[in-house]
Amino acid sequence: MFKAATISCVLLLSIFQATFAEIINIGIYHNAKITSFIFHPEEGTYSVFTEQGKLLDLDKSELLELKYVNNRIAIKSLDKDYGSFKKVHFIGTSWNNSFKIKSSKSKRIKIYEDNLFVNLHNYYNYFQLINNIEIDNYVAGVVESEVGRSPPPEYFKLQAIICRTYALKNLERHRAEGFSLCDKVHCQAYNRKPKSVLIKEAALETNGIVIVDSDINLITATFYSNCGGETAKSEEVWKQKLYYLRSVKDTFCLHENNAVWEKKIPKTKWTNYLVSHGFPKGSLQHECSVEYFQNCREQFFENQNVQIPFTTIRKDFHLKSAQFNVIPSGNFVTLKGKGFGHGVGLCQEGAMKMAKTGYSYIDILHFYYEDVHMINLESLAFFKADY
Confidence (pLDDT) at 83: 96
Confidence (pLDDT) at 286: 63
Confidence (pLDDT) at 210: 96
pTM of the shown model: 0.86
Confidence (pLDDT) at 199: 96
First-last CA distance in the chain: 13
User: How many other C-beta atoms lie within 10 A of the C-beta of residue 211?
Assistant: 21
Q: Give the model confidence (pLDDT) of 160-177 as tens digits.
A: 999 999 999 999 999 999
Please report, for the chain, the start and end positions of each structural domain, with discontinuous segments joined by +.
24-133, 260-338
Can you list the residues of the chain whose pLDDT is less than 50?
A: 1-19, 387
Give the mean pLDDT of the chain. 89
Confidence (pLDDT) at 307: 87
Query: Which of 78, 16, 89, 22 is CA-nearest to residue 51?
Result: 89
Q: Give the model confidence (pLDDT) of 333-376 as tens digits.
A: 999 999 999 999 999 999 999 999 999 999 999 999 999 999 99
Confidence (pLDDT) at 284: 64
Determine contact, residues 161/55, Cβ cutoff 8 Å: no
Confidence (pLDDT) at 353: 97
Exposure pattern of 52-78 as b/e (b: 16+ CB <10 Å)? eeebeebeeeebbebebeeeebbbeee
Confidence (pLDDT) at 380: 74
Confidence (pLDDT) at 104: 82
